[in-house]
Amino acid sequence: MHTDYLIIGSGIAGLTFAIKISAFFPDKTITIVTKSTAEETNTKYAQGGIAVVQNQTGDHFKKHIEDTLICGDGLCNQEVVEMVITQGPKRLQELIDWGAKFDMNSAGYLDLGREGGHSINRVVHHKDQTGFEIERAILAQANSRNNIQILDFHFALELILEKNQCFGAYVLNETTNEILTIQSDITLLATGGIGQVYGHTTNPAVATGDGIAMAKRAGATIKDMEFIQFHPTALYDKNATSTFLISEAIRGFGAYLRTKNGHRFMLDYDERADLASRDIVSQSIETELKKSGEACVYLDCTHLHPDNFIKHFPMIYRRCKDLGIAIEKDWIPVLPAQHYVCGGIAVDRNGETTIENLFACGESSRTGLHGANRLASNSLLEALVYADNIYNFLIKQTSKNSMHRKEFKTWKPIEECKIDPQYILNTKNALQHLMQNNVGIVRHEKDLLVAKSQLQSWKNEVVAMQKQHQITKDFYELKNMIAVGILIVDQSIARRENRGGFVKI
């Protein structure tokens, strides 16, 4: 199969690029592969919103830039920060033009929320389901374009390479178990996050770090994987099988973090208190829980006007109510959960990786925007800006976009000898437990070395098994999770100073 542009991933990064390139090149073919349904992405689960400067609030680019740099703890690329922040208003307007609807205030302006690390209200949102609304709008746009083909339930296995050039990818059709050879002039990795490596995560089940692992095996440069952001306030429910996020915007709305005894402990750690950046709040909660031996801390919303709360956070209100938590009188139990990886596939300002014709965008990429810790609601903005940068770069490189096509060997799947699914499940659970305990918010050198040894052992096992067993999506996800785990551990061992979200003692 041949296509002009192959996009792996169907979230905000991949779809934004696809929409733009399809309009400029209506005669070109764009193929999007996604391992679940097209809408099942990290984007869909983003509650808070997009941080964008709005003139009517007295905000300005300098403030947003400063907030980002402070949050990144000295490791942001300042030129990248300035570029992303100043493009924000234009990229937001494009989303609105494509049909995304955001909340408005009584004066007719965008209603702006505030989150940790921000010095002013600047978060554009759609209630507490911003990502869901964005994904709805851009997916509708993509589906309306005749030259965009979306292949759902197709899982990218490996990149097709020759002499440090990417020529597409080998892709598993999950329905037929056929492995397709999809040759492409340009390949974009937009595969989202790595949350399932930890298990206790706000990410969906599809977030297994596939793009980062693929790029690593291909020889691309991967940076800053030690900077794992833990969201401070995931709902604590010991009976739940998945993690539900309690948006940071609730603290921006006025909620307080408290211990079981009612103490507002964030006042002890940072002058910004409950609105300190995520790394500081998560580390503070970790400290409090170790001191008290309790399982969680609490988010107090009881002093907030309930009607206003329900208006702004209807999904969170319903989830709490279903669990018997009445926000008018009950505190919400919360604790940190893995949320975002600040590192990933190293790219330049045009989204180019260290492999020719291979680009990366969104959470799977490392642009230099986030440094040691991401400022809340900067991630959707980054994806929009870099998708636009890649688009603008490629429309000026038309000769580069049309490579001489050649034939590559097909990947002949092993039809017999299926891998025991119980082995995959058991190893995945053990990996998540290992990462949670040994590579969490605060890390110890000896724990990292134990994790490295175990991860390497699992890697050797799956490499040997792949030679003799049938390839499945579940098996390859496990392989990718192990690869990502090794990257996080190795880069954690290599880092010698604590910055932002990275603490090693």
Q: Which DSSP state fits 33?
A: E
**256 sits in which H/E element:** strand 256-258
Contact criterion met (CB below 8 Å) for 92 and 157: no
* Coil, helix or strand at residue 502: strand
CA distances from 264 to 114, 260, 284, 288, 457 (A): 19, 10, 11, 11, 44
- DSSP string covering 274-336, please? GGS-HHHHHHHHHHHHHHH--S-EEEE-TTS-HHHHHHH-HHHHHHHHHTT--TTT-PEEEEE
CA atoms within a 13 Å half-sphere pointing along the CA-CB vector of 314 = 6
In 3D, which of 338, 245, 246, 230 has the Cα closest to residue 284? 230
Give Cα 202 to chain centroid, integer Å. Answer: 10
In 3D, which of 135, 60, 145 has the Cα closest to residue 101? 135
Distance, in Å, from the CA atom of 249 to the CA atom of 497, rounded to the nearest integer, reads 31
Take residue 322 and report the two structure tokens written for it.
């279903």
CA atoms within a 13 Å half-sphere pointing along the CA-CB vector of 174 = 17
In the chain, count H helices and then E strands.
13, 19
Residue type, 465: M
In this structure, is the dihedral angle defined by the CA atoms of residues 49, 54, 58 and 60, taken in order, positive or negative? positive
Distance, in Å, from the CA atom of 234 to the CA atom of 245, rounded to the nearest integer, reads 4
Distance, in Å, from the CA atom of 322 to the CA atom of 278, rounded to the nearest integer, reads 27
Contact criterion met (CB below 8 Å) for 374 and 115: no
Residue type, 160: I
Contact criterion met (CB below 8 Å) for 249 and 49: yes
- DSSP string covering 152-207, please? ETEEEEEEEEETTEEEEEEEEETTT--EEEEEEEEEEE-----GGGTSSBSS-TT-
Distance, in Å, from the CA atom of 471 to the CA atom of 416, rounded to the nearest integer, reads 10
Residues known to be catalytic: 278
Contact criterion met (CB below 8 Å) for 53 and 85: yes
